[in-house]
Amino acid sequence: MSRNTRFKNKVIIVTGAAQGIGEGVAMAIAREGGKLILADRSPLVHDVARNIKENDGEAQVILADLETWEGANSIAQKTLELYGRIDISIHNVGGTIWAKPYQEYAPEEIMAEVNRSLFPTLWSCRAVLPSMIKQQSGVIVNISSIATRSIHRIPYAASKGGVNAMTMSLAMEHAHNNIRINAIATGGTEAPARKIPRNPKPLSEQETSWYQAIIDQTVASSLMQRYGTIQEQVNAILFLASDEASYITGTVLPVGGGDLGMG
């Protein structure tokens, strides 16, 4: 199969599609013929859909809060109403809200980090599995992080460790249903400034220092001594989502320039 037709006529959900890696994944899949469901809680996702349609791609938008079961389930159900099946689901919602030593986190901030970076993937996997089991086929790609071994973002690290464990266990549980489930552990990634910042408050001098320490540690932990690009992450995600990876399941693939992360 030609690379530019790997996703022809496949129904593909991309969560967190409004910006960053999610937007990059959506645009790349559209170029390869996929029928896209773009899920996000930000109306900015409509701009991504418009761009895809202007380039002769197919995309539908579903606005939902992926931190809730109701939001995740609504995406699965509306996709089934539109297309009758879900072939691939790529779960991209997450990201560090605060950057600081663990003892500096307030209890409510810890809960917010877990709600942001673990539950959207937990709920999304639960939402799409029944239809994939029924059709006895499907692919799930969860977006994790090499930050499972890092500094100043312990609640995020714990959340992504949960994503890794869930990915490996679900793959074992559902291989007999012909469902492949893998994850990409993204490394530090160069990206434009977020259109909607996760933490809208300006950083103090101390918070800026803590965040810079993350950047320094991430670069130092990479054998290639640099951040990656969005396209380098997209390439790996699309590979695991495609039939080119038909004999790969239960794998967490680090894409961090040699930083393998951990568990």
Task: Give the active site residues.
Answer: 156
Separation of CA 63 from chain center: 16
Contact 10, 82 (CB under 8 A): no
How many Å apart are CA 89 and CA 138, to the nearest integer? 8
How many Å apart are CA 92 and CA 199, to the nearest integer? 18
| Residue 20 Rama label (left phi>0; alpha psi -120 to 50; beta) | left
Neighbours of 223 (CB within 10 A): 10
Contact 30, 5 (CB under 8 A): no
- The token pair that represents 205 in the structure block: 């001098």
Q: How many residues are given for the chain?
A: 263
Cα separation values, 56 from 31, 99, 143, Å: 9, 40, 27
3-state secondary structure of 89: strand
Amino acid identity at 100:
K
> For the chain, how big is the Rg over CA atoms in Å?
18
Helix or strand holding residue 27 (H, E):
helix 20-31
How many Å apart are CA 13 and CA 138, to the nearest integer? 12
Where in 175-236 does DSSP place strands (E)?
179-186, 189-190, 228-229
